[in-house]
């Protein structure tokens, strides 16, 4: 860690779960428990029942708004300030890394706190308040939707290309709180391995990456990352 010049980190749902953010399937509770992911997180579901999908994501936004970044998020902010080239790639859509203070964040799956037009695929900051759900784009009248990648949609090409390049160019890659099964994010640590980087996995549970990583540090990110930070840079380096 002390010698690393280029550090790339990939984070998954486990990091956010430590802050109390429900995972995708845990969020399907109450009124939404009877629905499959395909009923809530696909373009077809949105076309079929836009009100249902919008209201489910509104609930998820509300839940995210009342949680705070945890020690794992804050440790990554410290890492960013201590490494020459730092790239944080996340599969999470809650924006907690940015709220913690991380600056260079590549969001593979979007961000549910942002809204975009479903017709023009552009971000929309504000719109007239009406009783219609979901609201309409003030420019073209199309439905507004959360700026997240749904099942069946391609990841943003520029973001994925930057994440792939950062994985290939780093000398240290840390995979944190991700199951390493959802593609194409799951391929990134293997890209790092193929290009000579040291790969470290931080996860309380084993994953397909566990047997391939150079080191596996079992545990929660909020415990392991601050400890790693302190071991590398001294006890005063805590988040």
Residues involved in catalysis: 109
Contacting residues for 202 by C-beta, under 8 A, at least 6 apart:
174, 175, 176, 177, 217, 219, 221, 224, 225, 228
Q: Considering Cα of 21, then 67, then 225, then 105, what sign does the dihedral take?
A: positive
With tokens 């109390």, the residue in question is 20
Contacting residues for 177 by C-beta, under 8 A, at least 6 apart:
11, 12, 13, 14, 15, 16, 17, 18, 72, 202, 203, 221
88: β partners:
9, 105
- Rounded Cα distance, 218 and 221, in Å: 9
DSSP β-ladder status, 144-148 and 110-117: antiparallel
DSSP 21: P
- Rounded Cα distance, 194 and 173, in Å: 12
- Rounded Cα distance, 13 and 60, in Å: 14
- Answer yes or no: are the C-beta atoms of 108 and 41 closer than 8 Å: no
- Rounded Cα distance, 145 and 118, in Å: 6
């Amino acid at each position: 860690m002390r010698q690393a010049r280029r550090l790339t980190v990939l984070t998954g749902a486990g990091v956010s779960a430590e802050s109390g953010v429900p995972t995708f399937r845990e969020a399907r509770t109450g009124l939404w428990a009877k629905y499959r992911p395909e009923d809530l997180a696909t373009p077809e579901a949105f076309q079929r029942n836009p009100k249902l999908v919008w209201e489910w994501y509104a609930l998820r936004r509300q839940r995210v708004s009342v949680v705070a970044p945890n020690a794992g998020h804050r440790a990554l902010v410290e890492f960013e300030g201590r490494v020459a080239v730092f790239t944080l790639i996340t599969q999470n859509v809650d924006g907690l890394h940015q709220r913690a203070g991380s600056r260079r964040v590549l969001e593979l799956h979007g961000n549910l706190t942002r809204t975009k037009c479903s017709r023009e695929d552009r971000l929309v900051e504000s719109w007239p308040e009406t009783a219609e759900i979901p609201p309409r784009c003030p420019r073209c009248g199309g439905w507004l939707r959360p700026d997240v990648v749904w099942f069946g949609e391609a990841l943003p090409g520029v973001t994925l290309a930057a994440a792939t390049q950062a994985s290939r160019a780093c000398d240290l890659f840390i995979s944190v709180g991700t199951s390493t099964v959802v593609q194409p994010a799951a391929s990134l640590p293997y890209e790092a391995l193929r290009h000579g980087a040291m790969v470290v996995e931080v996860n309380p549970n084993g994953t397909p990456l566990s047997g391939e990583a150079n080191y596996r540090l079992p545990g929660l990110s909020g415990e392991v990352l601050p400890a790693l930070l302190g071991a590398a840079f001294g006890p005063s380096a805590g988040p």
